[in-house]
Amino acid sequence: MRYSGLQRMDAVLKKHESGLLEGAPLWNHWNDVVGPAVAKKAQPLSFRGGVLWVTVETAAWMQELQYLTETIMDGLNRACGRSLVTEIRFRQGHVVPIRTREKRRSSDLASERPVAPETAGKIRQEVGKVKDAELRGLLERFWMRAASRSAEDGDG
């Protein structure tokens, strides 16, 4: 059986209700909390049960960030308005920096096509079930962008 994007989104929303996406705001605040120099060398990878896993480019940076763990945790929790992160663990790997809204390239926007009104309505209806406004906005932009690109590829 093939599932549509909206069926998959419904599964994601159910996970949200169980708290699996409670750390989503961490990605929004990471670059501001750690600053541009650290953000180029380290990015969040996953979050579960209060533990934030961070990918770090080199062993030297990983060691440096070990010393800053408490400061980073405090900054993220303060930025999120609640105590989400209780522990930070690091692993070495390839770092892909999170682009901020201001740095989006015009080529990224040009590749997006208008979403059919009925699809947009379904997306807004499903995403409207999310209580957290910030997460709701992120999910709506994600699914609108995915639907736009799917329409471009002929899948939608």
* pLDDT at residue 59 tops 70: yes
- 20 phi, psi to nearest 5 deg: -70, -20
Query: What percent of the chain has pLDDT above 90?
Result: 35
- Residue 68: the pLDDT is 93
pLDDT at 19: 54
Structure tokens of 16?
């949200």
Q: Residue 44 forms beta bridges with which residues?
A: 54
pTM attached to this predicted model = 0.56
Residue 97 has which token pair? 């920096």
Structure-derived torsion over alpha carbons of residues 98, 89, 92, 19, reported in degrees to the nearest 10: -50
